Structure 1
Amino acid sequence: MKNALSLAMTLGALGCLMAVSASAQKASPHETTKATIAGKTITIVYGRPYVKGRDVWHSAVAPAGKVWRTGADEATKITTDADLMVGSVHVPAGTYSLFTIPSGDTKDWTLILNKTADQWGAFKYDEKQDLGRAAMKVKKLSAPVEQLTITVEPGKGSNGKLKIAWADTEASIDVMVH
């Protein structure tokens, strides 16, 4: 009886530790954002880290000049039920990972769409799997954004804009539904 009770307590403690470990891996909340452009849906799923007083562009959080998962935890995913043009990149209907190469200031950023949709961060990012890359427009914000925010804003007709705002920076790129 003592052995059974001891085993039950050990397994319970192990379960609690595993639950704490799993929640610690996702310190940033996750978000799903959707937009409809020309009757077609674009969905983005991403982790939303906080600035927390850090210089995010000059640290390991979102290192300037290096491929960034553009969020926290898993790589950011974009799903479209129609073919798109994202900047100069033709994106067939489907699901892709979305990365960026931030410049760290208001210079150009690079948006990367990668064919490997399910991957953890950018640790195993493979440039050979890129669907394409496109330049993003970047501007300094008048008020800082504490938590990473990614949106797709519908425009006129089949046009829209994908925006990534965090800290004192907003990067954007045109989106067009085919």
Structure 2
Amino acid sequence: MKKKLFIGIGIFILLLVLGFVYLNHRNRTLSPPGIVKYDKNDLMIEIPYSRPSQKGRLIFGTEQDGALLPYGKYWRLGANEATEITFNRDVLFNGQQVAAGTYRIYAVPGEKQFEVVLNSELGKWGAMQPDYDLDILKTSVPVAHLEQPVEQFTVRFEEADSAVLVVFEWSDVQINIPVEPA
């Protein structure tokens, strides 16, 4: 009797683990990983992130409209794990001083501007909201609307005067965050 019970428990645990592995793999293929790196003039920035697709959905908007990412709500700037950003040196992030290091980066979308936040809590699954007490910087950046929608969430860098712009694009929305050596 005990032997059958142990075998049953073992099979249950095995099925549970296999189900978790399957869901983890499926989620990663739906939102594949991406990584962008900037390395010029003694400034290195690295952002590993996941790239969800629009798939005909309303991405940004109100909860009443059924938006995937409602205005005023936490968004991990990607999918799967929380998106992180690494600076090799002290920088000005949208004009605010940030020490060299790795930070969780997230946003709170708005119709006209996004609040972008750097947080010191690392290594977390992104769907879980961060410990807001560990926020180290909050800044607002204006929303630009794109003429051509971007199907898959994209992060890239763009040169601009003395700074580099960290560009986040998805659907018809773009935000640009200037970063420069401090």
Decide: shared fold, TM above 0.5.
Answer: yes
Q: Pick from 22, 38, 42 the counterpart of residue 41 of structure 2.
A: 38
Output aligned runs, 1:75-94, within 5 Å: 75-94=82-101
Output aligned runs, 1:54-73, within 5 Å: 54-58=57-61, 59=66, 61-73=68-80
4+ residue runs over 6 A deviation: none
Cα offsets for 1:144-166 (capped at 9, x unmatched) = 00000111223344x11111100
Calculate percent identity across the aligned residue pairs.
Answer: 31
Q: Distance in 2 between matches of 1:36 and 1:146?
A: 27
Q: Pick from 44, 47, 52 the counterpart of residue 50 of structure 2.
A: 47
How does the TM-score come out when normalised to structure 1? 0.84
Residue aligning to 2:151:
146
Q: Pick from 132, 136, 150 the counterpart of residue 131 of structure 1.
A: 136
8 Å CA contact 1:37, 1:154 repeated in 2: no
How does the TM-score come out when normalised to structure 2? 0.82
Secondary structure at 2:143 match in 1: strand
- Residue 173 of structure 1, CA deviation: 1.6
Bigger drift between 147-156 and 160-169 goes to 147-156
Unaligned runs of 5+ in 2: 1-6
Unaligned runs of 5+ in 1: 1-5
Q: Distance in 2 between matches of 1:108 and 1:49?
A: 21
